[in-house]
Amino acid sequence: MSDNNGCDILFSLLGEPIAVEQYVHSIGIKDMAIRNTEAEMHQTWDLQFKNWCTPHAMTKLLELFHTQNVLSKSSHDILWNMMAKNTTGTKRIRGHLPKGTIVADRTGTGAKDEGGVWSAVNNVGIIRLPDGNHIALSVFITNAKADHKDVEEVIARIARAVYDYYTPKEK
């Protein structure tokens, strides 16, 4: 359900966060910093902000993952299936899309501080359109003071607006 432990295991196998950052930069994604493990980020509030990425960079990474050979076929298929079978965040990108729409996504949810502010409520994914085309979408919300369900609703509405924009209307 959550990738925090899995993420840290992969970091240790790949040579820690900096090795992953270097790989991501080598494939052309520059607006991303990967400096700390999940375990480290949970130790100190400020450390979570050392890992960052722009929505544009994340969307580009999703596009590369989906359309280029940045992974072996078997690794691509494993990652796609894990993302497509994701059961977290059903009220985010998938929240208002038509039933049966294929979405391969991952959520990211930060902590709430003592003032009730969410550090992050995110969702990134690839949406398959009815015509077989795909859309890569990244929605990052930070410093939200709203209820969690309201923040998820914002993500769902954004995803539906994007879906509607790219889905031809039947006449």
pLDDT digits (tens, 9 = 90+) for 139-168: 999 999 999 999 999 999 999 999 999 997
Tell me the H-state helices in 47-113.
55-67, 73-84
Domain of residue 25, residue span: 1-53
Average pLDDT over residues 15-36: 95
Taking 80 as the threshold, does the pLDDT of residue 171 lie above it? Answer: no
Whether residues 80 and 161 fall in one domain: yes
Domain count, the chain: 2
Half-sphere exposure of 160 (CA within 13 A, CB side): 14
In degrees, rounded to 5, the angle at the alpha carbon of residue 107 between the alpha carbons of residues 105 and 108 is 150
Whether residues 164 and 90 fall in one domain: yes
Residue 59 in domain = no
Whether residues 95 and 23 fall in one domain: no
Q: What is the pTM of this model?
A: 0.91
Whether residues 18 and 88 fall in one domain: no
Residue 64 in domain = no
Whether residues 135 and 171 fall in one domain: yes
